[in-house]
Structure 1
Amino acid sequence: MQARTPLTLTDPARLLARISETRNQGFAVIDQEVEIGLRSIAVPIFDAHGRVAAALNLGLSAREEPATALEIRYLPALRKVQAELRKVLR
């Protein structure tokens, strides 16, 4: 796997651990792993069969918020929208 930035996870074991952590948490945060200056938090949107159909994502400048603040500040709102979209897709 080719790194897009110096912060991109490329080690297979670390990447698998991150995927497992994301599944357990129910959300993902990236901190400049795709593009320097971009942080993002996302939650899955499930279809009627419980499969991931899409993701709801909020991306913002790394200058605006520290990565540690994304979960505290934005996750509750993303979860509300996630729940409403779940109703629509069922």
Structure 2
Amino acid sequence: MYGILRQGMQDLATWEEPRELDTDNEAVVSLYDGIKKILEKQPKPKAKQNSAIPREARHILRCGRILKVDIERKLVIITVMKTDGELHQLRIEANQD
């Protein structure tokens, strides 16, 4: 087992320099062009939008475990256990539907 692991580590340690594209080989050029066309058609990744919530309006309750989450129409109750074993309950109530 150790010999296999050691061989794998040695294989990872060897570094191969990137090779130049073989422009004389028609199949390689065709494959390269095909990949390039596919990548050009892919949609560009959208920039991640920041949350519209101002930093002051965010609240973080650090806890050891989230024990229970109850969701009703206008009420969310989250029960958590702090790392010292103390239980806390967070209630979020909506005043509109």
TM range (shorter): under 0.3
Greater RCO structure (CA 8 Å; 6+ sep): 1
- Which structure has greater helix proportion? 1
Structure showing greater radius of gyration is 2
